[in-house]
Amino acid sequence: MELELSGIVIIVGAYGSGKTEIAINLAVHMHAKGTAVRLADLDLVNPYFRTREARHALNRLGIDVVLPPLQYMQADLPILTPEVAGMLRHPSGLTLLDVGGDDVGATVLAALADPMKGKTIQVLQVINPNRPYTDTVSGCLKMRKSIEAKAKMAITGIIGNANLMEDTTEQDILAGYAFSRKVSEAGNLPLIFITTPAALLTRLDKKDIHCPVLALRRQLVPPWKRAEALVPSG
Amino acid sequence: MAKVLMKGNEAIGEAAIRAGCLNYFAYPITPQSEVAEYLVRRLPEVGGVFLQGESEVAVGYMIFGAAGAGVRVFTTSSSPGISLMSEAISYIAAAQCPAVFVNIMRGGPGLGGILPSQADYLQATKGIGHGDCRLLVMAPASVQEAVEMVMKAFPLAEKYRNPVMILGDGLIGQMMEPVEFPDQLKTEPSNKDAWATNGMDHRKSKTRNLVKSLFLDPVQLNDNNLALKAKYDRMRAEEVMSESYNTDGDYKGLIVSYGTMSRVCRTAIDMLKTEGIDVGMIRPQTVFPFPEKAVAEAAMKPSCMHVLSIEMSMGQMIEDVERSVKGRIPVSWYGKCGGDIPTPEEVIDVVRERIA
C-alpha cells in the first residue's frame, strides 16, 4: 500500500512519541516521489533533538526546512517565525508541520488559526504504545482530547509508531499495529500509516497490515552514533 | 516490567518513585524541566507530593526541611540552579541529613547555554558549598544507568546521612533510550529514628533529635567536621565504582572519560581497534569518590605511554586523573565546552596526535 500525503499535514502527539523522526522521514519519502515538500520545525518546547538538527541532511536532498532565525536556533525560547504563516497561506505539494509534544507543544497551532482558515488540513496524531501515558487506548484518546483543546483543531488521523529504538522487534511492530487499529476504532479516526525501523522493513510480515508502512531511518542520534543514510523508502 | 522508551529526565523521575521517594521539590530549568513535567503528573498517582519552589534557593531549604523530618526527598536542577542550592547543600551535609540532588549539567559559566556540558565537575566533587562538605557523586552514561544510580542514591544518602548527587550532562536528561525498571524499594529511611525530627511518641529513646548546622563551640565544630571526614573517608573505601573498557590486553594509551562523553570515546576506541590501535578506557561511575586505584593501575600497564582525560569541560577531571597517575606517565586533557559534544572522529584525531 502506497503512502501518499499532500496539502497541509500537521504532526502532533505525546511528548517523545516520535513526531520529529516521522516528519523528517515522511518529508524524504514524499520528496523522493516527486512532491515539493516544505517542513517547518514548530517544536517550541523541546530543547534538543529537534528537526533543526537534521536540517543539513534535508537541505542536501533539496527539502526546504523552515526554522527559527540562526541566532536563536539553540535557544529554549518559543520562537514562531513569520515564515510559517506564509507557508500555510501558500501551501506547496506537501506542507509539513512538526509540532512540539503534548498539549503544551500543540498550543502554537491555535496561534496559526488565521493563515490556516478555510484550508483542508490533516492533523495526524502519533501514538507510541511503548511510551508512558500512551500505552493504553484510553491514554491515547485522552492525549487526543487535550491536544485538540489547546490546538483548537480536530485530529483527523492516526500514525502508529511502535518503536523501542534499537530494541524494536518485528513483534513490537505487529503488536503496535494491532494497538493502533484499536485506537483508530475507538477514536473513529483513520489509521493513516504505521512506521517501522528501515532495517526491519524487509523482514516484516506485511500480509496482515492493511495500511501503508513508512520506513524510518533514524536521524536524531546521540554523537556516538551515526544517522542512517536518508534514501527513499519506495 | 517490559521495556519502555523514556527520556532520561522522565526515567530519573520514575526511578525516584521506584526508590520510594514520594517528595519532589524543584524549580524548572532547561535541560532538566521534563523531570518536573513528568512528576507533576505521576506523583499524585502514587500519593506523592510535587511542590515548585519560588526559586532554587527556596527549593534547597525545602529539601533540607523534608530531609530533617525523615522523609525521602529529592530535587533536580541544572548548573545555575545547583549553584543557588549549594548553600542549602552545605547546611544539609553539616546537619547530616540524607537527600538526593540531580544536576543535569548545561554549558556555563553564568547562564551559559542549554546544551550538554560536564563543567560542574569541580563544583560537584570538591565540596560544592562552603565548609568541609562533600557529596557522594555518581555519573550515569545511559538512561538505564541513570535509573539504577537514582535508585542507589537514596539508600546511600541514608547510609551516610549525607546528600548524594547524580551528575548527568544535558544529553543524559534529553536523550531517549529503552529502559527497564526494577521493583519498588522501601519507602522510609531505615535509620531515621537516630536523627529525624518527627516526634518522640513512637521512639524508645528519650533524647531529642536536633537538626542543626550551627556549632559555636570550636571543639564541637571540629568534632562535627571530624565526623563528616570519617564519612567521606568511608565513602572512599566503600563506594568507588568504575568500568574499564578494552583494558585486558596491551594498549598504548588510556582514556579516562565519564557520562555520555565516555560513549563517544567507546565508539572511537572501537574504530581505532579496527586500525590496529589499542586504547583502553576507565569510566568513573562515581566521580566522588574518584576511582584513583583503577586509573592508576590501568595507567601503570607497561604498554601505556599516555593518559587522556576527555571531558566536556575545560579540564576539570584531569586534576583527579593527574592525582591518580602521580606523574608517572604524561597526562593531557581534551574537551569542548560550548554544547557541541566532541565526535568520535575528533577523539580519534587527538589519540593519533598524542598517542599512536
Chain A residue with the nearest C-alpha to that of B34? A46
Among the partner-chain residues A74, A128, A167, the one whose CB lies closest to the CB of B113 is A74
State how far the Cα of A168 lies from the Cα of A163, in Å rounded to an integer. Answer: 6
Mean pLDDT of successive 10-residue segments in chain B (356 residues)? Answer: 92 96 96 96 96 98 96 97 98 98 97 95 96 97 98 96 97 96 74 85 78 96 97 98 98 98 98 97 98 98 98 98 98 95 97 92
Q: Closest by alpha carbon to B27, among B36, B19, B40?
A: B36
Range of the domain at A119: 7-216
Please report the residues numbered 218 through 277 in chain B whose beta carbons come closer than 8 angstroms to any beta carbon of chain A. 260, 263-264, 266-267
Task: Tell me how crowded residue B196 is: count the other CB atoms within 10 A of its CB.
Answer: 20
Task: Tell me how crowded residue A17 is: count the other CB atoms within 10 A of its CB.
Answer: 28
Give me the interface pTM, i.e. the ipTM. 0.91
pTM, entire model: 0.95
Q: How far is A173 from chain B (nearest CA, A)?
A: 14
**Does the beta-carbon distance from B175 to A49 stay under 8 Å?**
yes
Q: What is the pLDDT of residue A234?
A: 43
Please list every residue in chain B whose beta carbon sits closer than 8 Å to the beta carbon of residue A49.
Answer: 174-176
Question: Do B139 and B173 contact (CB within 8 A), yes or no?
Answer: no
Q: What is the pLDDT of residue B206?
A: 74
Give the CATH number for residue A207: 3.40.50.300
Residue A133 lies in a domain: yes
Residue A227 lies in a domain: no
Please list every residue in chain A whose beta carbon sits closer than 8 Å to the beta carbon of residue B116.
Answer: 48
CB contacts < 8 Å between A and B, how many? Answer: 75
Q: What is the pLDDT of residue A232?
A: 53
**Does the beta-carbon distance from B6 to A49 stay under 8 Å?**
no
State how far the Cα of A132 lies from the Cα of A144, in Å rounded to an integer. Answer: 15
Residue A222 lies in a domain: no
Read off the pLDDT of residues A181-206 as tens digits, 9 standing for 90 and up: 999 999 999 999 999 999 999 999 88
Residue A98 lies in a domain: yes
Backbone phi and psi for residue B245, each to the nearest 5 degrees, phi listed first: -135, 130
Question: Do B116 and B170 contact (CB within 8 A), yes or no?
Answer: yes
Which long-range contacts link B267-275 to residues 24+ away (Cβ below 8 Å)?
A: B267/A224, B267/A225, B267/B344, B268/B344, B268/B345, B268/B347, B268/B348, B268/B351, B269/B245, B271/B344, B271/B348, B272/B348, B272/B351, B272/B356, B273/B246
HSE-up of residue A154 (Cα within 13 Å, Cβ side): 5
Is any Cβ of chain A less than 8 angstroms from the Cβ of B41?
yes
Which residue ranges form the domains of chain B, and what is each CATH number? 4-199+225-238 (3.40.50.970), 242-354 (3.40.50.920)
Among the partner-chain residues A75, A130, A223, the one whose CB lies closest to the CB of B4 is A130
Q: What is the pLDDT of residue B186?
A: 66
Task: Measure Cα distances from A87 to A118, B156, B217, B265 in Å.
Answer: 15, 55, 72, 42
Q: What is the pLDDT of residue B54?
A: 97
Number of domains chain A contains: 1
Residue A230 lies in a domain: no
**Does the beta-carbon distance from B171 to A222 stay under 8 Å?**
yes
Q: How far is A55 from chain B (nearest CA, A)?
A: 16
- Tell me the angle at which helices B33-42 and B8-18 cross, rounded to the nearest 10 degrees: 50
Residue A232 lies in a domain: no
Q: What is the pLDDT of residue B1?
A: 64
Please list every residue in chain B whose beta carbon sits closer than 8 Å to the beta carbon of residue A76.
Answer: 30-31, 114
Q: How far is A39 from chain B (nearest CA, A)?
A: 23
**Does the beta-carbon distance from B114 to A164 stay under 8 Å?**
no
Q: What is the pLDDT of residue A77?
A: 78
State how far the Cα of B16 lies from the Cα of B221, in Å rounded to an integer. Answer: 33
Q: What is the dihedral of CA B267, B273, B278, B281, to 10 degrees?
A: 20
Q: How far is A116 from chain B (nearest CA, A)?
A: 30
Q: How far is B100 from chain A (nearest CA, A)?
A: 24
- Which residue, chain included where needed, has cell 507533576? B40
Read off the pLDDT of residues A97-126 as tens digits, 9 standing for 90 and up: 999 999 999 999 999 999 999 999 999 999
Residue A168 lies in a domain: yes
Q: Closest by alpha carbon to B76, among B143, B31, B142, B119?
A: B31
Q: What is the pLDDT of residue A69?
A: 82
Residue A114 lies in a domain: yes
Among the partner-chain residues A16, A130, A223, the one whose CB lies closest to the CB of B264 is A223
For residue A72, what pLDDT band results from cuts at 50, 70 and 90? confident
Please list every residue in chain A whose beta carbon sits closer than 8 Å to the beta carbon of residue B44.
Answer: none
Please list every residue in chain B whose beta carbon sits closer than 8 Å to the beta carbon of residue A162.
Answer: none
C-alpha cell at B40: 507533576
Amino acid code (one letter) for A74: Q
Q: In chain A, which residues touch B (CB < 8 A)?
A: 15-16, 47-49, 74-76, 128, 130-133, 135, 163-167, 222-225
Does the bond joining B155 to the residue before it have cis omega, within 30 degrees of 0? no
- Which residue, chain included where needed, has cell 563517544? B264
Question: Do A143 and A14 contact (CB within 8 A), yes or no?
Answer: yes
